[in-house]
Amino acid sequence: MDAARRQRLSLIGFCTLGLALYTYGVFSAPYIPSHIEGIALPLDFMVGIPVGFYLLVVRPRRLTPLTVIPVIWVGYWLSVFALGSADAGVLPYLFAALMPVEFAIAVRECLKVAQVYKSARKASADPMVWFKETMLYLVRKDAPASMAAAELSVWYYALLSWRKKPYVLPGESAFSYHNAGGYMNMMLGLALAFPVEIVGVHILISQWSVVVACVVTALSAYAVIWLIGDARARVMRPVAIGDGCVRLECDIQMEAVVLLSDIEKVCLFESDTGVLEKEDKINYGTFYQANIWIVAKRPIEVRTMLGKKCVRAFGLSLGDPHAFANEVMRQST
């Protein structure tokens, strides 16, 4: 049995055991003498189960101890529910004793997160790297770290990148793709339509429910931030050639580094890529209409919002695909 499967089984086992203990404690509370109940339940719910969670889940996966704090709070509220009062038994004393512990854990981990973020900023000028390294420290899994990094990057590009220059390393030749296939023109059209649509939908739904209207408006505003961040990331993260490699990027959605020596061919049409399986291709062209394809001699690791995968052919939409192909050929010879 491999380590990953053992970790999954231990997590399932702990969750099942924890749920069983919570359920038993809550339903058995009326049948336990009050002087025992007021001591045993809070200790089990707020100390025993969180300690088990730390030993069986957090430590084996090297997760941040911050994940223990929500388990403590779940135990606290279940204790209040089972005992009928926040002042029952040792509950208020245990709550007061654990608060400094939780605060110490939070401060310690926040300082570590800040240090990881600072180290990532020193090592790279790419904001995606900053957030990815920070999230990896917190969750230790590539897929959730990539998704969280993409979310944070959207907000960064939408709100904080307007006085920044595109991410291009010294000696690299950059090739833009932000307006390939009319993407920016579409974004401009949406930008003009969104305010009218959001206000109109809010007024319409508010006649039925003000709460639902506010929720829909908030989600619409969130979608606007995402579109702005995605469009801005396209400007800030161009495709670049230099130092013996090609940096392939598509806003926050995809990035890969292909050595020039690993490039088999560059073509303008997908039909020219040769006989390749569907899983060996990745198409990030505008509206899936790629105008340039880079075919590698071997599978290359590509990082997406959902994690990593290996492919041989990359499809993109560039502003000047012919210039890109000529530059690859020039630097390859």
Q: pLDDT tens for residues 138-196?
A: 888 888 888 888 889 999 999 998 888 888 888 888 998 888 877 777 878 877 787 88
Span 103-110, average pLDDT: 92
Instruction: Give the per-residue pLDDT at 2.
Output: 63
Span 85-101, average pLDDT: 88
300 DSSP assignment: E
Lowest mean pLDDT among 4-13, 200-209, 306-315, 318-327: 4-13
Question: Residue 4: is its pLDDT beyond 70?
Answer: no
Question: Residue 43: is its pLDDT beyond 70?
Answer: yes
Where do the domains of the chain lie? 3-113, 124-333
Question: Residue 1: is its pLDDT beyond 60?
Answer: no
Mean of the per-residue pLDDT values of the chain: 85
Using only C-alpha atoms, what is the Rg of the chain? 26
Angle at 315 between CA 310 and CA 317, to 5 degrees: 145
3-state secondary structure of 104: helix
Q: Of 271, 238, 244, 237, give the one whose Cα is nearest residue 328.
A: 244
Which residues are 267's β-sheet partners?
293
Identify whether the C-beta of residue 69 lies closer than 8 Å to the C-beta of residue 101.
no
Span 289-298, average pLDDT: 90
Between 60 and 166, the higher pLDDT residue: 166
Span 238-247, average pLDDT: 89
Identify whether the C-beta of residue 144 lies closer than 8 Å to the C-beta of residue 134.
no
